[in-house]
Amino acid sequence: MSNLGGSMKIRIVSCRIISQESITERIRRMVLQAPEIAREAKPGQFLHVRVHPSWDPLLRRPFSIHAADGNTGRIVLLYRVIGKGTEFLRSLGEGDSVDAMGPLGNGFHLGRNLSPALVIAGGLGSAPAFFLISRLLETGRPVTFLWGTRSAAEIFGLDRFRAEGVDIRLATDDGSLGRAGTVTGLLKEFLKEKKSLENLEGFVCGPKPMLAAVQALAGGMPFPVQACLEERMACGTGVCQGCAVKMRSGSLGMVCSDGPVFPLEEVDFGG
Amino acid sequence: MAVDLSVRIGSLVLKNPILTASGTFGYGTEYSEYFDPSRLGGIVTKTITLEPRAGNPMPRIAETPAGMLNSIGLANVGVERYIAEKLPLLERLDTAVITNVAGNTADEFGALIRRLDGLGRIDAFEINISCPNLKKDGLAFGMDAEATRDVVRRVRSETDKTVIVKLTPNVTDIVSVAQAAVEAGADALSLINTVLGMRVDIETRRPVLARITGGLSGPAIKPIALAKLFQVKRSIGVPLIGIGGIMTTGDALEFFFTGATAVQVGTLNFIDPSGSVSILAGLVRWCEDRNISSFSSIIGTLVLESPSKP
């Protein structure tokens, strides 16, 4: 615990790992005990996790919060094993601890809007999307969920949402489940078949190229869309200015502290 | 026993020798949620320029073994907004404020200091002649002794406040640049700024940073920083401020023994925002455990002669 100032908000906590499991060979699901964070967390926010106690790898890794339960004090993170840091994270087991900073960033703005929600996720965009869908369902909003991944193996955890009446449509790059191709194909279909789009509110989570493809369809989306961006970060708090993203206004936004959620139409993905 | 941690840098007395490094601590209050910055000896602001700067194109950070590369490009709000919006936030802090400045020409440095000198909250200036991200190919004033002399002379002519000149390690002979800075009126030197570095993505064969090269910081550069400090300490009399990969109290002690009067904690702030005060707490304990009542007595106590035989 690095809270030395007394009255300061506690922001860095050592979290015990409750469990870790593989969803695919590379995608991992990690459950942490972190009551303060679980109480506060909002969909779209992230934890900045120190993956290794040494200085190599040096920087924290940002992970979107996949689920948070204030009652049990538990937080779920999803991550893809891609390098030294996540390899080490994979090796940790029940009872080990990780040092986590957060919740950081601004989550989705949910307000009092009770209109039907369209949630679009590409790949591990499911990490924030699942948390978001849970909260949308809690307020009784009808949810359509479009999700594209590489293959059927990367599709998981949908039974709960199906049981709650979420309209789920899937796409896989290799065609092993759902529509063959990307999630933008699903989105085109959806936009074509829906008669009244004006009432909708859109939410999109995923890698930048996918967000850019969704933005390119904006002409067919006469409703507001919030986008949750992924970016490499150093500090996670807006200080280092490393995770800047260009805005169409010409200014820069920091994904960590101005985002990671931005109005989709404001982001300049060409930059 | 209370340890006297105070040190003197030019006309400035710091209550303790732990500072934050420019570019890693925002304008001074960003990390206030994590700890009270008044506990530090001082804070060095992000580099301020005459005009606002958005910084370099993205990507502008990359991780390296025990280090990170950045080519942020001195993104800052510019001197006028710094004065109007950022400096007032530091009014209530009980710590030294060291404003770091950079210009494209010696005249710009002069204009910046003229604009800032009358502001009471600023205790000292750190002159950034060494950022590798300001010009093409990592060039900086600090790579040339005569260019350094020009800049420091201009700065000196505009202020009586303490002037700290921040040196780059990306030179053949850092001592000649250090000498030029001191001859032109620098009260103290801080070293080192980042080391010019690069990374390549082997999938795309592209440099990872949009600007190709950037500044390396973190534990990876600590040995370089110590060697440069040692070289400068041998021939320069003004107080030196050590910078480069300081993550622990032990790291800071290496710099103090080698001759640093104070240190700046940089990259650690990104990993542990309150890391600087943890280093300070460790330093107090280290002094107490050894009954050292005055911290300054340990500065430059590096042992060089071989141990005497009994």
Q: Which residues of chain B have pLDDT under 70?
A: 1, 131-139, 309-310
Residue B60 · residue B72 · CB < 8 Å = yes
Residue ranges of A 231-250 with Cβ closer than 8 A to chain B = 232-246
In Å, the largest CA–CA distance within chain A is: 57
pLDDT reported for residue B17: 98
Residues of B in contact with A3 (CB under 8 A): 34-35, 274
Residue B201 lies in a domain: no
> Residue B283: which domain range?
7-56+70-196+215-298
Cα angle, residue B214 at apex, residues B210 and B215 outer, rounded to 5° = 155
Q: In which residue are the tokens 């943890």 written?
A: B278
C-alpha A223/C-alpha A103 separation (Å) is 28
Q: Looking at domain A12-104, what is its CATH homologous superfamily?
A: Translation factors (2.40.30.10)
Q: Binning pLDDT at 50, 70 and 90, where does residue A7 land? A: very low
Residues of A in contact with B70 (CB under 8 A): 234, 240, 242
For the record, the structure tokens of B208 come out as 């990872």
Q: Which tens digit of pLDDT belongs to each residue from A88-123?
A: 999 999 989 999 999 999 999 998 888 999 999 999
Cβ burial of B160 (10 Å; 0-12, 13-18, 19+) is: exposed
A179-180 sheet: strands from edge to edge: A179-180, A167-172, A143-149, A117-122, A201-205, A225-228, A261-263
CA distance B250 to chain A (A): 14
Residue B135 lies in a domain: yes
Q: Which of B34, B59, B67 sits opposite A2 (nearest CB)?
A: B34
Helix boundaries (H) for A92-177: 126-138, 159-163
Q: In which residue are the tokens 């304990």 written?
A: B285
Q: Binning pLDDT at 50, 70 and 90, where does residue A3 land? A: very low
Q: What is the mean pLDDT of residues A130-158?
A: 96
Residue B205 lies in a domain: no
User: Which pairing describes strands A117-122 and A252-254: parallel, antiparallel, or unpaired?
Assistant: unpaired
Q: Class for domain A117-266, per CATH?
A: alpha beta
Q: Does the beta-carbon distance from B54 to A240 stay under 8 Å? A: no
For the record, the structure tokens of B14 come out as 């710091």
Q: Does the beta-carbon distance from B61 to A243 stay under 8 Å? A: yes
User: Which pairing describes strands B260-265 and B240-243: parallel, antiparallel, or unpaired?
Assistant: parallel
Type of residue at A241: Q
Q: Is the pLDDT reported for residue A74 higher than 90?
A: yes
ipTM of the prediction? 0.92
Helix or strand holding residue A30 (H, E): strand A27-33
Q: Which residue has the higher pLDDT, B197 or A194?
A: B197
Residue B180 lies in a domain: yes
pLDDT reported for residue B252: 98
Residue B16 lies in a domain: yes
C-alpha A243/C-alpha B63 separation (Å) is 13
Q: In which residue are the tokens 């870790």 written?
A: A20
Q: Which tens digit of pLDDT belongs to each residue from A200-213?
A: 999 999 999 999 99
Q: Does the beta-carbon distance from A58 to B25 stay under 8 Å? A: no
Active site residue B131: yes
Residue A224 · residue A194 · CB < 8 Å = no
Helix (H, G, I), strand (E, B) or coil at B207: strand
Helix boundaries (H) for A103-197: 126-138, 159-163, 183-193
* Contacts (Cβ under 8 Å, ≥6 apart) of A250: none
The pTM of this model reads 0.94
Closest chain A residue to B248 measured between Cα atoms? A55
Where do the structural domains in chain A lie, given as residue ranges? Answer: 12-104, 117-266
Q: Which of B39, B61, B273 sits opposite A242 (nearest CB)?
A: B61
Residues of A in contact with B67 (CB under 8 A): 58
Q: Chain B contact for A199, CB < 8 A?
A: no
Residues of A in contact with B63 (CB under 8 A): 57-59, 232
Closest chain B residue to A54 measured between Cα atoms? B66
Residue B292 lies in a domain: yes
Residues of A in contact with B25 (CB under 8 A): 239
Closest among B68, B24, B72 to B197, alpha carbons compared: B68
Which CATH number characterizes residue B291's domain? Answer: 3.20.20.70
Q: Count the domains in chain B.
A: 1
